Chain A
Amino acid sequence: MKQHTKLSQEQQHTEPHQIKSQTGQEFAGAEELLRFDAAQTSVPPQIAQRLKHSAQNAAPAPRPWWKNLLGQ
């Protein structure tokens, strides 16, 4: 677990901003609610289709000369 996650949990324990949904679900705070919301959100599949089409027609930028020089 990353440090910031621990910090978030510590802060939420000491500074409770509990959130309750209308269906009775309880969340420790805004971040937990937003994580739940993000997990419920699916990416519309048409974005990938559009992106594939757009990217096929768009050449990527050439590598900078210094990257070629340094072999990066």
Chain B
Amino acid sequence: MDTTAEGSTLVGQPPTGWPSDEIAALYAEHSRAIFYLTLRFLGDPQKAEDATHDVFLKAFRSLGNFRGDASARTWLYRIAINHCQNLNQSWHNRHVQTSADDAIWENAAAKTDSPLRVLETKELGQRIQNTLDSLSDEYRLLLLLVADEELSYDEIATLLDQTADAVRGKLHRARKTFAARFEQTA
């Protein structure tokens, strides 16, 4: 019997619980990248969970319109960026603060890690978040996208509605600012 990484599925049938192969495959391949972008862009694990769910649901609903002239990763990032920017501009987001759930931050460390390692991972994650929060949305998004090795400068430029040269120029300043602000969080 053929199986998939998603678990014990016959050929021709979607993996267990998923309504289609396409959305299952998209989620398996890109969920970490999308969750990480939403987590660090929004700075709130609960909002990142909701946003990741909403991004993939939107993608599922519009699978028929995906033209394939961009990579699936770029297409999902486009949906995620629009979604996060809308959230940041919404009245609710500007007036209602949710409390970050420590359990989600702690889940970042592997279950086999020692308590010290869990603490170190949590502290480093918090420093990274504080540093990113101190940057403009533009620099934050730029650094998060450039950190994804699957994206080219041209794809990043398209996602940010800028030229590749402008992206390179801003990247230098974003790196410099990030390094300086990260030092300040020590």
Contact = CB atoms under 8 A, between A and B. Distances in A.
Interface of A: 2-5, 7-8, 11-12, 15, 17-19, 21-23, 29-31, 33-35, 37-38, 40-44, 46-52, 54-56, 58-64, 67
Given A38-B36, A44-B107, A48-B31, A31 B146 contact: yes
B35 A55 contact: no
Contacts of B179: 17-19, 29-30
Ranked 9 nearest A-B pairs via Cβ: A17-B179, A34-B147, A30-B178, A63-B64, A52-B17, A31-B147, A38-B36, A4-B153, A43-B35
A35 to B, nearest CB: 5
Contacts of B10: none
Contacts of B52: 43, 47
State the majority secondary structure of interface residues on A.
Answer: helix
Contacts of A63: 64
